Amino acid sequence: MIAISELGRIDLADEEIGQERYKENELVKAKPTTGKKHRAESQTVDQEQPRSVDDLLIVAIGASAGGIEAFTDLMSSLPADTGMAFVLIQHLDPHHHSLLTELISKKTSMQAKEVTDGMTIERNHVYVIPPNATMSISNHTLHLGPREESRVAQVPIDHFMRSLAEDHGNRAIGVILSGTGSDGTLGMAEIQAQGGVTFAQDNASAKCDGMPRSAVAAGFVDYILSPKGIARELPPASGNGVQGSGKESISITHPSIPHI
């Protein structure tokens, strides 16, 4: 038989245990959700909030003689998910079918497309200008026009870069790779003026340094690097990367790049 005093102690112990369990339950309720459930909820939130096209960085890359090798070096050095879109304006023979898109597809894990009129820009894609065409951009849509027959040198790189700067402001990035002549210089000037970032291939790696040298001499290049160096330093979509010299430039800095 249990004594009355013992029963009192048992009741008191039960009450204390009950209070402790109540506190534990309240603490569990107050704790933030962790583990797989929390990660799944985070993934759901991310899926419900896709990145806006308004913050998309578009990289216009101009190239001519020797530029295909430089461009493939650049693309093969980039990760698959940069969050950016890349547009190649290569000087092409207007009278021959181009195999450039197929070549680029073998050098990058991003999807490469030859541009058709009205094509919408997407992240992590590479867009290649077709032969015998000029190209512009408006509201994230690529537009093609006929190539003008003229004795004056064609400037498709300038044409597209100016259009990109006007449409995209400081979310435009200009890159000039190997090539002869001066196409791209005025386009880089416009990108820089709108606060975008500009790169040029260095003399040591360029097979033909006419185009990058022209842009550099005019003062419209922020950074001079090899194609692989440009790939390493391109700003990621999060906004951490290099600093342009134009007005209202992308507010990002990087200490390792030689600035011009």
What is the set of active-site residues?
64, 91, 183
**What stretch of H or E contains 28?**
helix 4-30
Q: Which residue has tokens 């890349």?
A: 86
On whether the CB atoms of residues 179 and 66 are closer than 8 A, the answer is yes
Position 94: which residue type?
Answer: P
Position 235: which residue type?
Answer: P
Nearest Cα neighbor of 173 from 234, 248, 239, 90 is: 234
What is the C-alpha separation between 37 and 184, in angstroms, rounded?
51
Strands 141-146 and 119-120: antiparallel
